[in-house]
């Protein structure tokens, strides 16, 4: 008979009438959304948080010539990657690798900054190995320095 949002806008109030007995009643419908989850290295599960990804990117790209729209594009691609998962969850390693691929194509310094935190470099030799890998794969005119 009648439908409207509740005062809190978190449910829909519907006024109904039974077709067999003509009795009226009210139902409340609420969308029950299953959150997208991120599986941490230690096995814990955490809700996906766009802001957490964006803040990590902002730290890695600080004082670099990267626009906020480029960072937003990376976050959007990450969220799309998660949404496309059949079981509504992805591991932090899958997400981190995706972000690093985007950063590597965008800015190698931001890539190294992000990788150093993400891969948790223990010493300078691990940092050096990552840089040497970048230099081996980097040809003149490809990407930004």
Q: Looking at the domain assignment, is residue 3 inside a domain? A: yes
Quote the pTM value: 0.68
Return the structure tokens found at 49.
Answer: 């948080």
Q: Looking at the domain assignment, is residue 143 inside a domain? A: no
Q: Domain check: are 52 and 18 in the same one?
A: no
Q: How many domains does the chain have?
A: 2
Q: Domain check: are 53 and 27 in the same one?
A: no
Q: What angle do CA 85, 75, 8 make, to 5 degrees?
A: 80
Q: Domain check: are 60 and 4 in the same one?
A: no
Q: Domain check: are 86 and 70 in the same one?
A: yes
Q: Give the per-residue pLDDT at 97.
A: 93
Residues 41 and 94: beta-carbon distance below 8 Å: no
Q: Which of 97, 87, 95 is nearest to 35 (CA)?
A: 87
Encode pLDDT of 111-142 as tens digits.
Answer: 989 988 888 777 788 778 888 888 887 655 44
Q: Looking at the domain assignment, is residue 90 inside a domain? A: yes
Encode pLDDT of 87-109 as tens digits.
Answer: 889 999 999 999 999 999 999 99
Q: Domain check: are 44 and 13 in the same one?
A: no
Residue bearing the bigger pLDDT, 144 or 63? 63
Q: Domain check: are 15 and 81 in the same one?
A: no
Q: Looking at the domain assignment, is residue 144 inside a domain? A: no
Q: Domain check: are 83 and 96 in the same one?
A: yes
Domain of residue 52, residue span: 37-137
Encode pLDDT of 31-73 as tens digits.
Answer: 767 789 999 989 999 999 999 999 999 999 999 999 999 999 9
């Amino acid at each position: 008979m009648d439908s409207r949002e509740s005062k809190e806008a978190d449910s829909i109030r519907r006024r109904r009438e039974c077709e067999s007995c003509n009795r009226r009643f009210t139902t409340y419908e609420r969308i029950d959304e299953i959150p997208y989850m991120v599986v941490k290295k230690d096995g814990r599960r955490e809700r996906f948080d766009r802001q957490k990804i964006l803040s990590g990117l902002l730290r890695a790209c600080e004082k670099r010539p990267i626009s906020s729209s480029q960072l937003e594009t990376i976050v959007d691609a990450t969220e799309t990657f998660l949404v496309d998962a059949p079981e509504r969850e992805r591991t932090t390693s899958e997400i981190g690798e995706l972000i690093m691929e985007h950063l590597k194509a965008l800015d190698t310094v931001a890539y190294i900054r992000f990788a150093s935190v993400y891969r948790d470099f223990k010493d300078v030799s691990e940092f050096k190995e990552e840089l040497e890998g970048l230099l081996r794969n980097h040809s003149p005119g490809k990407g930004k320095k």
